[in-house]
């Protein structure tokens, strides 16, 4: 009886190299079972062990590759039982990582058609088809596990065979193309959007290569050229343009190619103005591969801009004040006239409210009625008394109109205003002049008739006086009659001077000398408690005036000043050379710009109230002492174009600085 035992052992050869051996030993026994000996067989299995180790390492490497590859790999044997599915396959199917191939392969799949509507049949599954012996190439499939996102896979594989041709099984490799499909869909959507933008763009839009060949074009470009898109594509754009336009366009295109930067230019073709926007498209090397050109028809825009420029120029250069506010009354625009009239700067006005011009001359009801009118969509017209930046009041006639948008909503108010301050002042002066002329005409007529009567009285009184002796009791009475008649005649002369019907005797006059001579008489006439001060210019020009009338003017003003200073004070007489400019001359009737001599008389008396001041030029106003005597001298000067108490015209003198003070 034998008992065998196998054991792997290592032996060392004579050269001291180790070898792997398989020791097979047995015990030899006799028929009674007693051990009679031992025998053993030693077989060298070193090469076999090395091959097994190599296979093990290859298996580990293959498993590591299969587990770490991102493509899913699944295999089955010849019986259709799953023998392999790697980590990627488990992730695709939402299987636990520790899952091992077992059971029939169909039990581990929940596969759907690419549209995701029905469960795939077994014959539609790539592995099944490969198991059946079919070569599978790039079959698209969608896997939709219950608790994981659906994945789109691209499967390829086929059957496996033994060396002798017997079926061994099948293998399929599945590549995840979910992201690629999403990217392709995004690209498709972008292309659809771009196509819709190109085709739906109301302006011409096309792509061309660097030689001018049209690659893509929309319907609007074809319409502008009077052709179809198919005829434009693959044709040269330059051949469709007039030679001069084609030459200029080629220059701009070459600039975009040379600089690789966008270029914008305008050209005119077929009577239309086109605003072209050229955008270079670069390849991977940074070179211009093609260009996208957007051509915007701006013909109507340019015409509208011309109209707007003309309108803006007209508004800017308008002699009227133009002010625009928003619907809340905030000022958004003013033309230069508003700045010139009000004295406010543009930055002080824009963003403010028109109430900055309010003078307080209008009550709140006035502004409430104005606002009620314009917010109701109606036009308001009226007259403002407004205030300038320096506090000066001015009058302006205004028309305020609402501006509506396309929906009919009021969005702005436009005020067109005219400064009528000078007009009102000139009208007042004209009315005063007409009134004085009427009074002068009346006074002249009365003076003539009265003078005729006085002539008779003076004639007869002189005859009677010549016949009487001074000791005659009636002589004194006759002399009083004669004196009264002569005083009446003097009054007549003044009335005739007032009515401009007496002869003036102007001459070249040194006004300073005239005043200094008159001061001597005024010193005896004016009370001592009134000081007389003269401020006379050293270089005063000579004037053309009547010396007698000048004396009368100054005497009457001195008498009025004396009456205004019963407690004493100071009477000041001044002269100076001045220049009246156009702006000042416009404020006075018959005044002309030029060089003048200013004569100014002032006192420290109690002055006049507003009511009395408004009647200062009326000769018969009872509150004004000496008014008739003053006006009998001053009115002819006004008639000659010389403003009251403003300088008498210099007959000849050197030009002076127009910036000198005005009276």
CA distance 528 to 95: 130
Tell me the three-class secondary structure of 377-424, residue by residue: CCCEEEEEEEECCCCCEEEEEEEEEEEECCCCCEEEEEEEEEECHHHH
CA distance 231 to 400: 58
Q: What is the mean pLDDT of the chain?
A: 78
The residues, ordered by sequence, that sit 6+ positions from 45 with a Cβ below 8 Å of its Cβ are 8, 20, 21, 22
Q: How high is the pLDDT of residue 440?
A: 66
CA distance 606 to 609: 9
Q: How high is the pLDDT of residue 39?
A: 78
The residues, ordered by sequence, that sit 6+ positions from 402 with a Cβ below 8 Å of its Cβ are 374, 375, 377, 378, 379, 410, 412, 413
Handedness of CA 70, 76, 80, 82 (dihedral sign): negative
Buried residues in 348-378 as b, exposed as e (16+ CB within 10 A): ebeeeebeebeeeeeeeeeeeebeebbeeee
pLDDT tens digit sequence for 242-290: 888 888 889 999 999 999 999 998 888 767 888 889 999 998 888 999 9
The residues, ordered by sequence, that sit 6+ positions from 410 with a Cβ below 8 Å of its Cβ are 327, 375, 377, 402, 403, 404
The residues that bridge with 579 in the sheet, in sequence order, are 595
Q: Say if residues 236 and 221 touch (Cβ distance below 8 Å).
A: no
pLDDT interval class at 4 (50, 70, 90): low
Q: Say if residues 161 and 168 touch (Cβ distance below 8 Å).
A: yes
pLDDT tens digit sequence for 128-169: 888 888 898 988 888 777 777 888 889 999 999 988 888 888
CA distance 633 to 551: 9
CA distance 487 to 495: 12
φ and ψ of 427, to 5 deg: -65, -40
Q: How high is the pLDDT of residue 653?
A: 34
Q: Is the pLDDT of residue 173 over 60?
A: yes
pLDDT tens digit sequence for 307-328: 878 877 777 777 788 889 998 9
pTM greater than 0.85 (yes/no) = no
The residues, ordered by sequence, that sit 6+ positions from 607 with a Cβ below 8 Å of its Cβ are 564
Q: Is the pLDDT of residue 548 over 80?
A: no
Q: How high is the pLDDT of residue 156?
A: 92
Query: Which token pair is 430?
Result: 């004209």
Burial class for 333, CB neighbours closer than 10 Å (0-12, 13-18, 19+): middle
The residues, ordered by sequence, that sit 6+ positions from 371 with a Cβ below 8 Å of its Cβ are 329
The residues that bridge with 214 in the sheet, in sequence order, are 208
**Angular region, 241: left φ>0, alpha ψ -120 to 50, beta rest:** beta
Give the pairing of strands 82-85 and 594-603.
unpaired
């Amino acid at each position: 009886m034998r008992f065998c035992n196998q054991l792997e052992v290592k032996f060392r050869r004579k050269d001291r190299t180790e070898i792997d051996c398989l020791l097979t030993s047995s015990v030899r026994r006799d028929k009674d079972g007693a051990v009679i000996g031992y025998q053993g067989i030693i077989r060298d299995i070193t090469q076999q062990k090395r091959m097994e180790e190599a296979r093990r390492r290859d298996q580990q490497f293959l498993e590591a590759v299969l587990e770490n590859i991102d493509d899913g790999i699944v295999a089955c044997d010849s019986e259709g039982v799953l023998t392999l599915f790697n980590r990627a396959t488990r992730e695709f199917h939402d299987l636990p990582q520790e899952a091992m191939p077992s059971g029939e392969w169909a039990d581990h799949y929940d596969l759907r058609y690419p549209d995701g509507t029905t469960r795939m049949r077994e014959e539609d599954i790539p592995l099944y088809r490969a198991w059946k012996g079919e070569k599978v190439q790039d079959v698209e499939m969608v896997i939709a596990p219950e608790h994981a996102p659906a994945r789109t896979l691209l499967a390829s594989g086929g059957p496996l065979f033994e060396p002798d041709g017997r079926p061994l099984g099948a293998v399929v490799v599945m590549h995840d193309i979910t992201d690629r499909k999403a990217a392709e869909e995004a690209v498709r959507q972008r292309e659809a959007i771009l196509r819709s933008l190109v085709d739906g763009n109301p302006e011409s839009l096309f792509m061309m290569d660097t030689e001018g060949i049209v690659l893509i074009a929309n319907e609007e470009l074809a319409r502008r050229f009077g052709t179809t898109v198919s005829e434009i594509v693959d044709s040269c754009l330059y051949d469709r343009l007039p030679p001069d336009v084609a030459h200029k366009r080629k220059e701009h295109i070459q600039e975009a190619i040379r600089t690789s930067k966008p270029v914008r230019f305008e050209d005119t073709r077929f009577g239309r103005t086109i605003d072209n926007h050229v955008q270079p498209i670069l390849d991977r090397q940074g070179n211009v591969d093609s260009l996208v050109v957007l051509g915007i028809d701006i013909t109507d825009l340019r015409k509208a801009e011309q109209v707007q420029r003309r309108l803006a120029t007209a508004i800017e250069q308008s002699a009227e004040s133009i002010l625009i506010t928003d619907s809340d009354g905030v000022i958004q625009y003013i033309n230069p006239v508003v700045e010139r009239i009000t004295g406010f700067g543009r930055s002080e006005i824009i963003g403010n409210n028109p109430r900055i011009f309010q003078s307080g001359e209008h009550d709140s009801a006035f502004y409430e009625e104005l606002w009620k009118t314009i917010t109701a969509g109606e036009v308001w017209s009226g007259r403002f008394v407004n205030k300038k930046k320096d506090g000066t009041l001015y009058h302006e006639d205004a028309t305020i109109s609402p501006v509506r948008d396309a929906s009919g909503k009021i969005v702005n108010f436009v005020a067109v205003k005219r400064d009528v301050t000078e007009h009102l002042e000139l009208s007042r002066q004209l009315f005063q002049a007409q009134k004085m002329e009427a009074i002068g005409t009346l006074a002249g007529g009365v003076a003539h008739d009265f003078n005729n009567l006085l002539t008779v009285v003076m004639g007869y009184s002189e005859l009677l006086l010549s016949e009487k002796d001074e000791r005659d009791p009636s002589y004194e009475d006759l002399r009083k009659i004669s004196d009264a008649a002569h005083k009446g005649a003097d009054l007549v002369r003044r009335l005739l001077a007032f009515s401009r019907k007496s002869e003036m005797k102007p001459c070249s006059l040194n006004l300073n000398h005239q005043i200094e001579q008159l001061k001597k008489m005024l010193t005896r006439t004016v009370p001592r408690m009134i000081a007389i001060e003269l401020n006379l210019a050293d270089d005063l020009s000579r004037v053309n005036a009547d010396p007698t009338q000048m004396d009368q003017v100054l005497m009457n003003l001195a008498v009025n000043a004396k009456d205004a200073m019963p407690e004493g004070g100071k009477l000041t007489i001044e002269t100076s050379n001045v220049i009246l400019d156009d702006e000042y001359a416009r404020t006075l009737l018959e005044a002309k710009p030029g060089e003048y001599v200013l004569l100014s008389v002032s006192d420290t008396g109690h002055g006049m109230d507003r009511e009395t001041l408004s009647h200062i030029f009326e000769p018969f106003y009872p509150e004004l002492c000496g008014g008739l005597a003053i006006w009998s001298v001053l009115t002819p000067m006004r008639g000659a174009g010389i403003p009251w108490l403003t300088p008498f015209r210099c007959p000849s003198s050197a030009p002076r600085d127009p910036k000198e003070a005005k009276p």
